[in-house]
Structure 1
Amino acid sequence: MRLGLSLGYWGAGPPPGQGELVALAEDLGFDSVWTAEAYGSDALTPLAWLGSRTTRLRLGTGVVQVSARTPTATAMAALTLDHLSGGRFVLGLGVSGPQVVEGWYGQPYPRPLARTREYVAVLRQAFAREVVRLDGEQYRIPFPGGTGLGKALRPTVHPLRADLPVLLAAEGPKNVALAAEVADGWIPLFYSPHDDAHYRAALAEGFARPGARRTADDFEVACTVPVEVDDDVDAAADRVRPMLALYVGGMGARGVNFHYEVFARMGFEAECARIQELYLSGAKAEAVAAVPLAMVEKVALVGPRAKIADDLAAWEASPVTTMLVSGPPETLRTMAELVG
């Protein structure tokens, strides 16, 4: 299992010290660095900026939002970054949720799986420097209306790699199976190595489909894992609880919250309902306090160094191939020593 540095997306502005943190990760032997986007900072610009300071780290987006750019615009960015980094770019894609897709991008959200399948098909054509054509339900290239002068084109840039890797972010079983079928990897969120039978089944289903691109042996699973080192387990968990309460309680609407569903499948349905009720009613502190330690420990590494070392065994036995961690320099050093 390899280590990656997860930087996420900005808050109100550029986080201080990220350049130094990326340099440290490279010095410690980390494999990759990953950026994200929501509805503020984008994923590609910081990755290019930070990547210019590195020589070995793979540069991944975790994730670029599908609705933010047309598939050909994303292909151009990927081709460009791959050249600038000497073949180190990894394109992670995700569909986000209806609140962001419709509320921020002004795009329709329904049928995200079909949209993702067509999006990846366009990317593959561009990466192979083929003439891009698609007569899909979500994307039609060239556009059949308008002036009638649209022309099928191929990239002017010669790709550095025709097999530039594409990873899909997915939480539900159908999305996970799609990732195993059409992508080079999967980016889970709130994955638990203790409750992953449904994920393993979904991956197996995708690998077994006709024309599947990869097998379990050459498929990347890049998973974000919160890490909090502290002699007091509850104090460590307290630093993870606000994030879980936000995603379970506030990232989505009642009945349409994919993160809620992930934890409900782990057996925390009653807890999720309580957290969401509190969060959406404005009682955020109470929602945070309602996150049980058991829920935190399903998806995070918390507590003393020795406990974290023991808990790593479950992750190393899981399908996860790249563990994405974040935190201060001492956390990165600890994980580099433990994962080796």
Structure 2
Amino acid sequence: MTVPLGGIPLSEHRGVFAALADAGFTDLWTSEVAGSDAFTPLTLAAAWAPQFRLGTAIAPVFTRGPGLLAMTAAALAETAPGRFQLGIGASSPVVVGDWNAADFTDPFQRSRDMLRFLRAALAGELVDEQFETFPVRRFRLERPPAVPPQVLLAALRPGMLRLAAAEADGVILNWLSPADVTTALAEVKTDKPDFDVAARIFVCPTDDAAHARRVGRRMIAAYLTVPAYAAFHRWLGRDETLAPMWQAWSAGDRKGALAAIPDEVVDDLIVHGTADECRAKVEAYVAAGITVPAMALLPTPTLESGDPAAILPLLTSLGR
């Protein structure tokens, strides 16, 4: 499950973690956009619910310096030894440039360089190297973790997917259907026995299909108009289907862009329905090759209420 849950303060998530554990969830994953950072919720979980595996999906490679990202990951790996996976990725020009005042340039090269730096630094090695996108001079962690975390790389298209297969401990996928998983994994050729394939799966647990599609359309318009995601879905074969949305968005017609998204695209990319239906749809991702299906809950009236008495039973029904 992706945490924290909207509407419930972080200070009250001990009960959320307990409910997720009781429901059978095994992993807690975070994202880092404009809500909480990727590490604080997992630090709380490491202290309050030590039975969970923990992961970031993702910590951007541009918004922290190499040393700081290594220190932050090492501290969490020390707090949750053997239970933490560090997921990194390029993020987007909005998150990196508009919100964090960093230059979003050469995302492939920056991701590759940060991956190589982190694998060495988290192993306790002295790093003194001129990478293509940044230099590091004589950096060594003072507290290298006894169990270095696996490092997973977020990837969309062939170049990054192949990099993940060659140099990372796993790959993180996003914004795709179960059928799309097959296309993506065709580029991930590796014989690493513990190579994880994680995916963030957007779940709107309601049998009100109209509500779920409204929420889904807003999410799709916000994300799939980002150049990297637009290119990803062209590669997946949705060029013709999503062209009207992209054209309306480029023209500044936000309402027209929303209206141009077909129901079938929403239903492909957003899991919705009853708890039983949502679980069955998530299992389709697992059947396609996902080893870490990380649900991310989208707003419903129940979830937006912020009432733990209503939300915790929903978590139980999703997990069973």
TM-score (norm 1): 0.80
Aligned to 2:175, the other structure's residue is in SS state coil
What's the counterpart of residue 121 of structure 2? Answer: 126
Cα offset, 1:183, TM superposition: 1.0
Question: Of the candidates 175, 191, 210, which is equivalent to residue 160 of structure 2?
Answer: 175
Q: Go from structure 1 to structure 2 and tell me whether the alpha carbon gap of 1:305 and 1:107 turns closer, same or farther (over 3 Å shift).
A: closer
2:85–2:150: 8 Å Cα contact kept in structure 1? Answer: yes
Between the aligned partners of 2:240 and 2:10, the Cα distance in structure 1 is 36
1:6 matched to 2:7? The reply is: no
Name the CA distance, whole Å, in 1 between partners of 2:236 and 2:97: 29
Aligned length: 307
Please report how far the alpha carbon of residue 40 of structure 1 lies from its aligned counterpart in structure 2 after TM superposition: 5.5
What residue in structure 2 maps to residue 317 of structure 1? 287
Q: Which residue type is aligned with residue 24 of structure 2?
A: G
Matches within 5 A, 1:1-340: 5-7=1-3, 18-39=13-34, 41-142=36-137, 152-162=138-148, 164-204=149-189, 207=190, 215=192, 217-249=193-225, 252=226, 257-304=227-274, 307-308=277-278, 310-312=280-282, 314-327=284-297, 328-337=311-320
* Structure with larger RCO (C-alpha < 8 A, sep 6+): 2
Is the contact made by 2:181 and 2:289 (CA closer than 8 Å) also made in structure 1? no
Q: Which stretch of the first structure deviates more once superposed, 288-297 or 38-47? A: 38-47
Aligned identity (percent) is: 30
Maintained 8 Å contact 2:46/2:79: no
Question: TM-score if structure 2 supplies the norm length?
Answer: 0.84
User: For structure 2, which runs of at least 5 residues remain unmatched after alignment?
Assistant: 298-310
Q: Which amino acid aligns with 1:238?
A: R
Deviation readout 1:74-109 (Å, 9 max, x if unpaired): 111111111122332211101112333333333333
Shift of 1:67: 0.7
Question: Partner of 2:95: helix, strand, or coil?
Answer: helix
Name the amino acid aligned to 2:266. Answer: V
Maintained 8 Å contact 1:275/1:291: yes
Find the residue that maps to 2:143 and give its secondary structure.
Answer: coil
Q: How many angstroms apart in 2 are the aligned matches of 1:178 and 1:317?
A: 24
Deviations 1:26-60 (A, max 9, x none): 22221111122125542122322343221211221
Is the contact between residue 9 and residue 43 of structure 1 (CA under 8 Å) also seen in structure 2? no
Taking only aligned residues, the RMSD between alpha carbons, in angstroms, comes to 2.7
- Label 1:25 to 1:280 Cα distance change in 2 as closer, same or farther (>3 A): farther
**Aligned counterparts of 1:9 and 1:99: Cα–Cα separation in 2:** 23
Work out whether residues 248 and 275 of structure 1, in 8 Å CA contact, stay in contact via their aligned partners in 2: no
- In 2, distance between residues paired with 1:232 and 1:268? 26
Contact in 1 for aligned 2:183/2:236 (Cα 8 Å): no
Secondary structure, aligned partner of 1:68: coil
